[in-house]
Chains A and B, each alone.
Chain A
């Protein structure tokens, strides 16, 4: 049983700390956090603003470096990697969905979704097949040639989700993915991510205080003052 859990482990945080220097003061944004995210998780880091959830996501995503402790992404310790190696990890094993979509404005929906595959050097034909299928999966068939400014917020976030999952990453890190859309669009995006999780086994870790996300999450991790105060699995 223990071996299976380790095998399914995507992310493991071991006594993770992140301290920021603000003038003469040291602020502990992440305080001795230990956590395991398993394959297929649909988990939400919840907590008030400033509780440290975004800092935890940044550390898991290799965007920031821990002051102490370890971030294991599958079998790799991110804290030992150089910037270039971290880029490789992000490119190949992590998908990101941002609050404000963050699509590249000069690219079409297709090109945005294909961006990371291009960086990976994926064969053009395979890239096309995967992108077209992914765009269809997120409900954007027929909108491939639209640029971000020609799409609604919900459509843009779907492109962002397509960009995050098209490389088949180990985990998708989503920071407040529903914060900038109306409630109808938010529900529809959550339907989509839930379906991707259930049908394709894609692991999602959210940072959120949106009750709709919390309601859908299978696992709720409460963060307060940089520490995990509860970790509940829904049955």
Chain B
């Protein structure tokens, strides 16, 4: 009989104990999937929402624009750059945007805010949060024209309704103050008072005219990726390309450092939580394996007496840990799969607890608690718990290998 088979049988000598220990591993899988899945889901949602609010997962802009934004700094030959980016893998869409600060005025009131000038043909609800958040009227119909879409709070403060005129004043490419008039075509409501009370969406070509930009001059090319995890890799690749040598290429961590910082802090807290759970699971496994070894010292003494080497005894207990890990992971996958499927498809609605405008790091996210797991997270959970079980079994196995037969056997 080989050690593997013997280990498997040994595992079933105390069925209840084995099942309880395997269940603790399974519970570890459930918790790890929940913690990691929540992280994978929320971080992705926040990063995507942040990208859709203007800067994309990757932003191409004039040098130094990100550090000190100004209408004077503009990306030239934007159309050429856009064509070059669209050829790259994992690029979902590229949108030309002009953005800046402006004073919005009605007949009664003036309010400072931010404008995003977009080409509606390049934007949709998948890559633009404001299109998704339209609640009244219509989004801009073209990049030209004199329409404007306001945040619902901004419109309220200006005491304006759809169809009314608003004057926006900003600085042009030379630093001179310029104004233009626009008619409100629609209102959006993201749920965040800060955004709804300060943002306006304008037609790209009209704003380019107002600012004195050429048609292929923009503030930023916002690149939306099919998967935000490729942003580092793609940014590095673009930075190395000659086509982008006269530009600054930044990823979302650089353009949204607050969000990146919040996610990093949250990830660290999440990892500490997972580490504590892992330690609890490890302590349970260690306790079981050690008890199992100590109560079999006599039997191990017999095995050594008849010729089994300490190394083989060590391996026997390690094989027991191996099978315990396999069993725990199988139970864990069986138990966790329905939970994960429910949570990834339906999720828990936390609106009653957080309200509709749940924001994190300045980014608006749905108050629906869902799970999502990247393939690398699944592998990390399985390998992590598997390794943890083997590691927990190492000390008891070492103890087994140190059994002194003459002490273990009271008599021969």
Contact = CB atoms under 8 A, between A and B. Distances in A.
Contact of B411 (A91, A104, A175): A175
A119 B299 CA distance: 16
Q: Is the interface of B mostly helix, strand, loop or mixed?
A: helix
Contact of A54 (B299, B307, B309, B412): B412
Interface string A78-108: 0000011001101110001011101011110
A64 B10 contact: no
A106 B9 contact: yes
A12 interface: no
B401 to A, nearest CB: 10
Nearest to B307: A91
Interface string B368-412: 000000000000000000000000000000000000011001011
Most B CB atoms within 10 A — which of A87, A118, A175?
Answer: A87
A208 to B, nearest CB: 11
Given A91-B307, A116-B306, A58 B412 contact: yes
B9 A90 contact: no
A104 B5 CA distance: 13
Given A63-B406, A118-B1, A163 B306 contact: yes
A105 B13 contact: yes
Contact of B2 (A104, A106, A118, A207): A118
Interface string A162-176: 010000000001011
Contacts of A90: 305-307
A61 B302 CA distance: 12
A98 to B, nearest CB: 6
Instruction: Give the contact-size bracket for chain B.
Output: 20 to 34
A61 B309 CA distance: 15
Interface in A176-209: 176, 207
Contacts of B1: 107, 111, 114-115, 118
B406 A64 contact: yes
B79 to A, nearest CB: 74
A102 B406 contact: no
Contact of A207 (B298, B307, B310, B412): B412
B228 to A, nearest CB: 52
A143 to B, nearest CB: 17
Contacts of A30: none
A98 B307 contact: no
B171 interface: no
Instruction: Give the contact-size bracket for chain A.
Output: 20 to 34
A57 interface: yes
B98 to A, nearest CB: 76
A100 B298 CA distance: 11
Contacts of B262: none
Contacts of A83: 310
A98 B6 contact: no
A43 to B, nearest CB: 15
A116 B307 contact: yes
B6 A106 contact: yes
Nearest to A87: B309
B309 to A, nearest CB: 5
A16 to B, nearest CB: 15
A96 B306 contact: yes
Contacts of A92: 307
A83 B409 CA distance: 17
A98 B303 contact: no
B304 interface: yes
Interface in A125-179: 163, 173, 175-176
Nearest to B10: A106
A99 B411 contact: yes
A61 B299 contact: no
A233 B343 CA distance: 83
Interface in B1-49: 1-2, 6, 9-10, 12-13
B2 A175 contact: no
Nearest to A163: B306
Nearest to A120: B307
B9 to A, nearest CB: 4
Nearest to B304: A87
A98 B308 contact: no
B254 interface: no
B253 interface: no
Most B CB atoms within 10 A — which of A63, A90, A119, A176?
Answer: A63
B312 interface: yes
Interface in B274-305: 298-299, 302-305
Given A87-B307, A90-B306, A63 B405 contact: yes
B411 A88 contact: no
Nearest to A90: B307
10 contacts: A54-B412, A61-B305, A87-B309, A91-B307, A96-B306, A99-B411, A102-B299, A105-B13, A107-B9, A175-B411
Given A63-B406, A87-B309, A88-B307, 11 more contacts: A64-B406, A84-B310, A87-B308, A88-B309, A105-B13, A105-B299, A115-B1, A116-B307, A118-B1, A119-B307, A119-B308
Interface of A: 54, 57-58, 61, 63-64, 83-84, 87-88, 90-92, 96, 98-100, 102, 104-107, 111, 114-116, 118-120, 163, 173, 175-176, 207
The 6 closest A-B pairs by CB, nearest first: A91-B307, A175-B412, A106-B9, A102-B302, A64-B406, A90-B307
